[in-house]
Amino acid sequence: DQQVKQNSPSLSVQEGRISILNCDYTNSMFDYFLWYKKYPAEGPTFLISISSIKDKNEDGRFTVFLNKSAKHLSLHIVPSQPGDSAVYFCAAMRKNFGNEKLTFGTGTRLTIIP
Amino acid sequence: EAQVTQNPRYLITVTGKKLTVTCSQNMNHEYMSWYRQDPGLGLRQIYYSMNVEVTDKGDVPEGYKVSRKEKRNFPLILESPSPNQTSLYFCASSFGLRGDWDTQYFGPGTRLTVL
């Protein structure tokens, strides 16, 4: 039972344009969401997070939007750069319940075309 | 330099031969965790540890053991590896108990093949 889903295995975007990566979840108890970026032969690195009390969080070129009613979050990268080419994972947890387990999505491979 | 190290980085073994993958962090983190990454399945948590001598099962613990005798080390043990444990394994650590999830560090990964 995949509680966190990334339905697009891959995405190609022209350099300078906006990249939008999507993530859906089924567990309404999730209250904290994170995005990780992973380059080949490296471990994932934290990118940005959002609490369920917010609907938007911004950090430089990266913005995460959360739609709780739709159980959907998205990561926007503007403008996209070649160094953004990587696999992106969304993850969710029940932080306020003291549950320290992270549930990851399946990942989306983003390719930025120069 | 703050880091999580894993050894070995690559391992090919045979069914039934016990093996241990080590994980060590130098950030004094309380929380440590093991994940496996498989195509189409993303990252799935195997075990996690909130502190020394405190461990708990993740989503896919079958066939694995862990121990947390020291704060910095969190080895993953496969007592009798099977081919379905062929995967890419990641260790991670963070100040999980303080809710500081934004600083979870991952190791570089261990690619395990069980023949």
- Chains A and B: how many Cβ contacts under 8 Å? 60
Question: Would you call B14 an interface residue with chain A, using a CB distance cutoff of 8 Å?
Answer: no
Can you read off the two tokens belonging to residue A103? 């549930």
Write out the two tokens for A87. 């696999």
Identify the helix (H) or strand (E) that includes residue A24: strand A19-25
A64-87 pLDDT tens trace: 999 999 999 999 999 999 999 999
Q: Which amino acid is at B39?
A: P
* A11 in reach of chain B (CB within 8 A): no
| Contact between residue A14 and residue A80 where contact means Cβ atoms under 8 Å apart | yes
pLDDT of residue B102: 61
d(CA A44, CA B74): 18
Residue B20 CA from chain centroid, whole number: 10
Mean model confidence pLDDT for chain B: 91
Q: What is the pLDDT of residue B99?
A: 54
Give the nearest chain A residue to B104 (CA atoms): A46
DSSP A95: G
